[in-house]
Amino acid sequence: MIKSMTGFGRAEEIIGGRDIIVEIRSVNHRYYEFSARVPRVYGYIEEKLKSYLNGRISRGKVEVSVSVSAVEAKDTVVEINKNVAKGYVDALRSVGEELGLADDLTLSQLVRLPDVFTVRKSADDEEAVWESVRQVADAAAAKFVSMREAEGRKMRDDVLERAAVIERLVGEVEQLSPISAENYRNKLYSRLCEVLADKNIDEQRILTEAAIFADKTAVAEETVRLRSHIRQLRDMLELSEPVGRKLDFLIQEFNREANTIGSKAQDIAVTKIVVDLKSEIEKIREQIQNIE
């Protein structure tokens, strides 16, 4: 199925006491380019995310944002610095005795003093954290891919419509090309009659000149190749694999044949058709630039 390179997906879940949010967005790019914003403490998951998404995205500039917040205290360890607390108690009581003050020190007062408590995060189980993030990333990626596919269907329909227009224009060129050669032969005969004022015209010479003109302006090979390219285009649009690069190459071939027909055209009607032909090809090119 054709996919757009533009997409967005977001998912949020609470897993293992952590509120995890993953957002994935992408825009056009020739290759797969990955960047991520991950909390520094969880920096080790960045490369894992890059590899994981590379298995689902072949082209595009992909930006991923990850947020991890603790909603439970499971990863927090609170410790009392007993030596610091004892030092405060000893110092305060010593000063109280010297100054003759009552000993009214309480536990609630002690815990307010600096450095009595140490709060630190317990060591993370990196694999467990990654598995939690991967689950959320999987949900975000599913939405991301779904959006890409929806955009891809629209692009596919548009390209197919334009391919049908190109096919019709090619048919018009095929009809007009022989008429152009016949018109040239008739004009050549009329001019020779005017110049020579004689009915003894060398018919064979006229036929030869007309044949040379027809050969120079013949576009049968180009129209046959264009029809072949249209068939290839339709086939590629039905493939499940990424075809953006192949389509980009194919549309260059479309342009090459259209340019050749334009350079050979000696008839104003054919020239106008070629202008329309190239316009439709350009519109397809603009679309496929966004196809994965």
pLDDT of 188 reads 47
Same-domain check for residues 137 and 44: yes
Same-domain check for residues 142 and 229: no
Whether pLDDT at 181 is above 60: no
In contact, 33 and 64? CB cutoff 8 Å: no
| Residue 38 resides in a domain | yes
Give me the number of domains the chain comprises. Answer: 3
**The pair of three-digit structure tokens given for residue 249, joined into one six-digit string:** 């190459």
pLDDT of 215 reads 47
Same-domain check for residues 59 and 189: no
pLDDT of 113 reads 78
Same-domain check for residues 156 and 144: no
Three-state secondary structure call for residue 148: helix
Highest mean pLDDT (candidates 18-22, 101-105, 178-182): 18-22
- Residues 6 or more apart whose CB falls under 8 angstroms from that of 10 comprise 21, 22, 23, 24, 140, 143
Same-domain check for residues 36 and 157: no
**The pair of three-digit structure tokens given for residue 194, joined into one six-digit string:** 């005017």
Average pLDDT over residues 241-265: 90
What is the band of 183 on the pLDDT scale with cuts at 50, 70, 90? low
CA distance 72 to 53: 29
Whether pLDDT at 192 is above 60: no
pLDDT in tens, 25-42: 999 998 899 999 998 888
pLDDT of 203 reads 60
Average pLDDT over residues 106-124: 72
Three-state secondary structure call for residue 192: helix
Higher pLDDT, 228 or 74: 228
| Residue 134 resides in a domain | yes
Whether pLDDT at 150 is above 70: yes
Same-domain check for residues 199 and 256: yes
| Residue 1 resides in a domain | no
Same-domain check for residues 166 and 204: yes
Same-domain check for residues 28 and 98: no
Higher pLDDT, 208 or 56: 56
Same-domain check for residues 158 and 270: yes
Same-domain check for residues 110 and 168: no
| Residue 2 resides in a domain | no
Whether pLDDT at 261 is above 60: yes
What is the band of 248 on the pLDDT scale with cuts at 50, 70, 90? very high
| Residue 120 resides in a domain | no
Same-domain check for residues 158 and 141: no
In contact, 8 and 25? CB cutoff 8 Å: yes
Same-domain check for residues 42 and 93: no
For residue 23, the cross-strand partners are 10, 65
Whether pLDDT at 118 is above 90: no
Residue 156 is part of which domain span?
A: 152-288
Identify the CATH number of the domain in which residue 140 sits: 3.30.230
